[in-house]
Amino acid sequence: MYYSYFSTGNVRIDSEHANIDCMIDLCRNKENEWMSTARILISALANHLDSEEKICREDGLNMTPDHLEEHLQLKTRLAHIEKQVGRAQLDKDDFLSTFRDMLFYHISNFDKHLNNG
């Protein structure tokens, strides 16, 4: 479990991250039909980025312009990865490690620095 290290201090954001992390494990446990779960995972992360921006507005957290820009870049990357999955250019393990790295990198370098300032 990564929860303590990856905690942002905001319960709503942390629970969305935890849900996505659980879906990664779900996808890992699928065999032939993993691609449909991968698509759900990709849209879950894209939707989460919008949700996180809304939570920050509602909870008074300071989301920097760099953080917002990073969300746009992540969405572009996710769309690219979705195409690669559809064309069978990524196998399941490569998809999962790329996806997980993206999520953990983002939490470590951006979401953990969200504050009330």
Name the site residues for Fe ion (rule: CB under 5 A).
52, 110-111
Q: What is the phi/psi pair of residue 115, to 5°?
A: -150, 180
Burial class (CB in 10 A: 0-12, 13-18, 19+), 52: buried
d(CA 74, CA 26): 22
| Nearest approach, Cβ of residue 72 and Fe ion (Å) | 11
| Nearest approach, Cβ of residue 48 and Fe ion (Å) | 8
Nearest residue to the partner Fe ion, using Cβ = 111
Contact predicate 60/13, CB 8 Å: no
| Nearest approach, Cβ of residue 70 and Fe ion (Å) | 7
Q: Which is nearer to Fe ion, 82 or 111 (CB)?
A: 111
Burial class (CB in 10 A: 0-12, 13-18, 19+), 92: middle
Q: Which is nearer to Fe ion, 34 or 110 (CB)?
A: 110
Q: Which is nearer to Fe ion, 68 or 79 (CB)?
A: 68
| Nearest approach, Cβ of residue 25 and Fe ion (Å) | 21
* Residue carrying the six token digits 């993206």: 102
Q: Which is nearer to Fe ion, 99 or 110 (CB)?
A: 110
